[in-house]
A and B are shown apart, each in its own frame.
Chain A
Amino acid sequence: MSNFQRQQLFSTSKHLHDHISDNDLVAAVLRGETQAFAGIVRRYERPIAATITGMLGRTEEVEEIGQQVFIRFYEALPNFRGDASVKTYLTRIAINLSLNELKRRKRRFSLFRSVDDALELPSEADDHAESSADRELIEQALKRIPAGMREVVVLRLVNGYSTEETATMLNIPEGTVLSRLSLARKQLQTLLKPFFGEEYAK
């Protein structure tokens, strides 16, 4: 296949990228076909957005950190050995950058007041926009649980990854995932019970 054909193949059409494996896209990028990287970005931007948003909330930093995740992965591609999946690498980068951002926020705000003190759950959910109000409540509740639990909740329950995948992505034992998840669920139920009701918050 000529370079021109490859350029056509890895041009802006996202549908073409859908049929190409991650490893083939990585190989194409390493050959110098940088457009192939757009296929990787399109494939994983949704789960990475969910991961970062879950960790940080819907803030203006989410876009910048999202871009940083993919740029860091791009720069590290020569060292990509394929022993973990692209999704795992990207998620690890997203979690690490999100944790860094949380530390940065903590340093910035600790001089004035606690980050948690700045957050308030809405006093009541809007019946006319229940779904939107639920998301707002979830976001506020996620911000109130410790980062170590939050990352598990975000990967396991927000992104829907399996316990095994979550453990691999966070590089922790599956038992730790389960225990953190159990503690996090209890905290979420406590926080959300007043809004979701006893029978719905279980």
Chain B
Amino acid sequence: MPNNSHEHPEEKMPQSRIATALREYGNKAAFAPMFADRVQRRINAAPANNPAMQALTPLDALAQELVWMFRRVAIVGTSLVVLLAGYNLYTNDDVSFDAVFGLPNEAHSLSVESVLMPD
């Protein structure tokens, strides 16, 4: 139980009904039976939160950090693609699927042969 050995002399409270009632209030406070089991069930239901899993080797921790970092980059990247695609569609009315995602368009690409040997 709590340690009362360091009680300050200035704060000694008379054994009044209030003090007794406060202490009794604390003594009567309790969770419903089987509380520990309910906590354990919730912990087991989310194994990703297992601290043993979190206490990984530095290499595993680095891998997890990279995954987390690229997840953020992926969100930013996807947002940029959507914005650029929207901008291209807005300015050019009709934009090919390849162009939207910055892929080379074969119809407009120049080959060595076409430059050296024009029709």
Residues of A participating in the B interface, judged by any CB pair closer than 8 Å = 14, 29-32, 34-35, 37-38, 41-42, 45-47, 49-50, 52-54, 58, 62-63, 66-67, 70-71, 74-78, 131, 134-135, 137-139, 153-154, 156-165, 174, 178, 181-182, 185, 188-189, 192, 196-197, 200-202
User: How far, in angstroms, from A108 to B117 measured CA to CA in the complex?
Assistant: 78
Among A154, A158, A163, the residue within 8 A (CB) of B8 is A163
Query: Is the interface on chain B under 10, 10 to 19, 20 to 34, or 35 or more residues?
Result: 35 or more
Known: A45-B30, A50-B26. 12 other contacts (CB 8 A): A30-B55, A34-B43, A41-B39, A66-B31, A66-B35, A67-B35, A134-B24, A156-B11, A160-B2, A160-B23, A162-B2, A163-B11
Pairwise interchain contact A41-B25, C-beta atoms closer than 8 A: no
Residues of B participating in the A interface, judged by any CB pair closer than 8 Å = 1-8, 10-11, 13-14, 16-32, 35-40, 42-44, 49-52, 54-55
Among A38, A45, A192, the residue within 8 A (CB) of B18 is A192
Among B21, B38, B52, B55, the residue within 8 A (CB) of A135 is B21
Nearest chain A CB to B41 CB, angstrom units = 10
- Contact A138 to B25, CB < 8 A, known contacts A49-B31, A200-B16: yes
Decide if the interface of chain B is mainly helix, strand, loop or mixed: helix
Residues of B contacting A35 in the complex (Cβ-Cβ under 8 angstroms): 40
Pick the most buried of B14, B20, B30: most chain A CB atoms within 10 A of its CB. B30
User: How far, in angstroms, from A188 to B22 measured CA to CA in the complex?
Assistant: 11
Residues of A contacting B28 in the complex (Cβ-Cβ under 8 angstroms): 135
Pairwise interchain contact B14-A160, C-beta atoms closer than 8 A: no
Pairwise interchain contact A162-B39, C-beta atoms closer than 8 A: no
Decide if the interface of chain A is mainly helix, strand, loop or mixed: helix
Pick the most buried of B10, B11, B17, B24: most chain A CB atoms within 10 A of its CB. B17
User: How far, in angstroms, from A159 to B17 measured CA to CA in the complex?
Assistant: 16
Nearest chain A CB to B65 CB, angstrom units = 14
Pairwise interchain contact A163-B7, C-beta atoms closer than 8 A: yes
Pairwise interchain contact A162-B19, C-beta atoms closer than 8 A: no
Pairwise interchain contact B17-A134, C-beta atoms closer than 8 A: yes
Nearest chain B CB to A19 CB, angstrom units = 17
Nearest chain A CB to B71 CB, angstrom units = 19
- Contact A181 to B11, CB < 8 A, known contacts A47-B2, A67-B42, A71-B43: yes
